[in-house]
Amino acid sequence: MRIPFSGNWKVALWRLWHGSIVGSGVVAYLTADEDTFFMHQFSGYLFAGLVGARLVAAVLARGKGPFALRRLAKPGVEAISGRGPLIRLVMPWMAAIMLLGFALAGYSGIAADWFHSAEGLHKALSEAAPWLVGGHVALVLGLLWRPKGGVVALLGTALSRLGRIASLLGRRVGVAFGAAVLVAGLGVTAPDPAAAGSPQDAVMAELLARAQAEDPAVTAFDPARGEALYLSRNTVDATRPSCSACHTPDPRNQGEHVKTGRVIDPMAVSVNPERVSDLGQMDKRFGRDCPAVLGRDCTALEQGDFAAFLLSR
């Protein structure tokens, strides 16, 4: 059976699909957090379903209409002699790569719901998705742009600019190589990256500077105070009376969000080296979790004590 995916209403349906895939993808990307996990999960499953429906539609279309993945044209002179042949050459490849990338991102999320070990893969693929979309948009704009002189002029301009960039990079690389040889000749060695300390050291130094800006008497953080803060109970939210409600009393254990049930990686640095390594992520967590759990913002001293506790476990 052949379904004729052609005609104006088919184009309208394709546009509806396109808008839906963009909308669900953006929502899923922006809600990838514990507190918005249900919205993330719903939009992610919708996104994966739309990708699957697109693949089914492509099979049923059999090379006809807006849902078809047309057979790839053979590259040759005719493919660059006019914009139409170039588009027919590029578009199927672009559509196939986009669908593959989206399928991997979407279905790895479904896998992560059942197998926590797939969470890292899903996160990496999801972070790559915006770059894939950006490349798609740039390619479409490039294909639809009509410069004076046609495609030949466009290719000439592109090659000229690439030549200038290559020349510039060549000069920079040459200068850098010369400087490296000079430094080596003088016996000057580059600093050992390990000597600069771990990412946690840099984060703790910044937290200490913030605490001292609030109170110059602060000289160090106390893991014991951080543990007390971690275990302290409050009445702001009965479902989350303390940090340990989601992260368990022992931060070395795997936690679980009390509202969504989403698995949370251990908080202790000894088990999860990524903890206390990204100041931006810590600021985001403190800014969200302190008001939710304690009913107020955490002081800089409390943030440092909390981080010191995680480093000590």
Of residues 223 and 15, which shows the higher confidence score?
Answer: 223
Can you tell me the distance from the alpha carbon of 298 to that of 294, in angstroms, rounded to the nearest whole number? Answer: 8
Q: Which two tokens stand for residue 286?
A: 């403190």
Q: Which of 18-32, 61-75, 106-120, 209-223 has the lowest mean pLDDT?
A: 61-75
More confident residue, 13 or 268: 268
8 Å CB contact between 47 and 101: no
What does the pLDDT average to over 112-118? 79
Write out pLDDT tens, residues 232-254. Answer: 988 777 888 899 998 999 999 99
Lowest mean pLDDT among 1-15, 36-50, 77-91, 210-224: 77-91
Confidence of residue 304 (pLDDT cuts 50, 70, 90): very high
Could you report the per-residue pLDDT of 30-44, keeping only the tens digit for each? 887 766 777 888 999
pTM of the complete model = 0.54
Region 56-64 average pLDDT: 78
Q: Does the structure show a pLDDT above 90 at 7?
A: no
Site of tokens 């809600």: 31
Contact (CB, 8 A) for 27 and 46? no
CB atoms within 10 A of CB 57: 20
User: Which one-letter amino acid corresponds to residue 115?
Assistant: F
pLDDT at 185: 44
Contact 251, 230 (CB under 8 A): yes
Name the residue among 245, 228, 227 with its Cα closest to residue 236. 245
Q: Is the pLDDT of residue 221 over 90?
A: yes
Task: Name the pLDDT band for 104 (thresholds 50, 70, 90).
Answer: very high
DSSP codes joined into one string, 217-241: T-----HHHHHHHHH---SS-TT-S
How confident is the model at residue 217, as a pLDDT? 93
pLDDT in tens, 122-149: 888 998 999 998 888 888 777 766 655 5
Report CA-CA distances (Å) from 288 to 197, 284, 285, 296: 28, 6, 5, 10
| pLDDT for position 182 | 43
- State how far the Cα of 306 lies from the Cα of 204, in Å rounded to an integer: 11
Tens of pLDDT, residue by residue over 160-211, are 555 555 555 544 444 444 444 444 444 433 444 333 468 899 999 999 999 9
DSSP string, 38-103: HHHHHHHHHHHHHHHHHHHHHHHHTT-STT--PPPPPPSHHHHSSHHHHHHHHHHHHHHHHHHHHH
- What does the pLDDT read at residue 145? 67
Residue 263 φ/ψ, nearest 5 degrees: -70, 140
Residue pair 290/296 in contact by the 8 Å Cβ criterion: yes
pLDDT for position 70: 59
CA distance 33 to 170: 44
Q: Which domains does the chain have, with CATH numbers?
A: 8-147 (1.20.950), 199-312 (1.10.760.10)
Dihedral sign of CA atoms 300, 305, 311, 313 in order = negative
What confidence score (pLDDT) does residue 11 get? 77
pLDDT beyond 70 at 285: yes
Residue 54 above 90 pLDDT? no
Instruction: For the chain, give the mean pLDDT.
Output: 77
Whole-angstrom Cα distance, residue 275 to residue 311? 8
